[in-house]
Amino acid sequence: MLLVTGGAGFIGSNVVAALNDAGRDVAVCDVLGQDGKWRNLAKRRLADFVPPSELMDWLKSRRLDAVIHLGAISETTATDGDLVIETNFRLSLRLLDWCTANATPLIYASSAATYGDGDQGFDDDASIDALKKLRPMNLYGWSKHLFDMAVAERAARGERLPPQWAGLKFFNVFGPNEYHKGTMMSVLARRFDDIRAGRPVQLFKSHREGIADGDQRRDFIYVDDVVRVMMWLVATPSVSGLFNVGTGTARSFRDLMLSAYTALGTKPNIQYIDMPEAIRGSYQYFTQSEVDRLQHAGYNGGFTALEHAVETYVKGFLDCTDRFR
């Protein structure tokens, strides 16, 4: 059996689907709430479903093939520091200790938010000196960075760790089952109904010289590619480390939306609006992962081109009556 924390969430439910397809027994730890998140798991087979408050008791005297730890408060706008630290940092430490004591592989979600404004680049160097230079810009990114540092410091001191540990710095992931995330959904999912209805899609104007409106760039990665990396890690327990999970290619928000129009065969209708004053000073204009370490570790699964990924998402999910995987 494998445990997937956050298994009812966006990336987690896609991982559960892949594990089901591979014939693996899966237990999920998550909170379903009242926002319809249960639909992410409606087509899945589960060996158990565990509330986070009961997780450590549930783990007692249990043997697992691996823990895939994706559960977190992932909103970059979160402001309850105590809740975020308890959920994202302290629970992660408890799972790290359990996996160490029980010789169980731990694959966990870090985040590209740990890189802050990107001034230090996007190199997934797991050395203490490199990590100390990072300055996350929000509470969520800081909580993820704290755990990366805790694992890296144990590794640097030669302390015991799980037989496999892998922290994954996800970049801008999009794909099916993200619909419960509200404002944290990808801009494609948020704006798709406008595209299909012929309403104008609004993107931010640029407030930086030399960058065109809508040309702010992100490393967009389709969720299937993210899942493929995690399934490879599950099958390759000799690989440990901190790894970026992105395509290595930055594309613009305009490219993303134009790909959706192309997939639907409709004429683009994009309007550019002023970016709110409150976020202009902290808005990231560019993110792009460096994926050399993942590839040098042996991963050769490749990444889906943006246009193909958008077409798959649109035709296979967003433009369907049933949008869930």
Q: 202: which 2 tokens? A: 């609004």
Q: Supply the residues annotated as catalytic.
A: 140, 181
Instruction: List the alpha helices (DSSP H) in the chain.
Output: 10-21, 55-59, 81-84, 91-101, 128-132, 139-156, 187-197, 223-235, 253-264, 277-280, 292-296, 306-313
User: Could you identify the residue written with the tokens 């002023």?
Assistant: 274
Three-state secondary-structure class, residue 214: coil
Q: Phi and psi dihedrals of 68, rounded to 5?
A: -110, 105
* Cα–Cα distance measured from residue 19 to residue 239, given in angstroms and rounded to the nearest whole number: 19
The amino acid present at 320, given as its one-letter code, is C
How many other β-carbons are positioned within 10 Å of the β-carbon of residue 308? Answer: 12
Cα 193 to Cα 184, 200, 202, distances in angstroms: 16, 10, 13
* Cα–Cα distance measured from residue 29 to residue 7, given in angstroms and rounded to the nearest whole number: 6
Contact 98, 61 (CB under 8 A): no
Nearest alpha carbon to residue 312 among 172, 217, 175, 173: 175
Q: CB within 8 A of 182, min separation 6: which ones?
A: 35
Nearest alpha carbon to residue 301 among 247, 264, 255: 247
How many other β-carbons are positioned within 10 Å of the β-carbon of residue 240? Answer: 22
